[in-house]
Amino acid sequence: MIGDSIKNDIKGANNYGIKSALVCNTGLTSVQIYKNNILDEQHLQNLIDRENIDVNYLLHSVSENSH
């Protein structure tokens, strides 16, 4: 599961035993974990710990490659 919401996408994947990839720069989660356009890794880890979830992969962005 690729998603940008810890509480919905990633937690949902965990509930069904699906591996997850969190996209950090979009969605509601990005508002919480970026400060001045810089990823606050400690705050991200605190959110993951507080929600008691497992994130298998962190993606800083997802974009279409035109090549």
DSSP reduced 3-state for 21? strand
pTM for the whole structure: 0.83
Domain ranges for the chain, please list them: 2-59
What the block records as the tokens of 48 is: 């993951």
Distance of CA 44 to the CA centre of its chain: 8
pLDDT in tens, 12-64: 999 999 999 999 988 878 888 988 888 999 999 999 999 999 999 999 888 76
User: Measured in Å, how far apart are the chain's first and last C-alpha atoms?
Assistant: 25
* Residue 66 pLDDT: 46
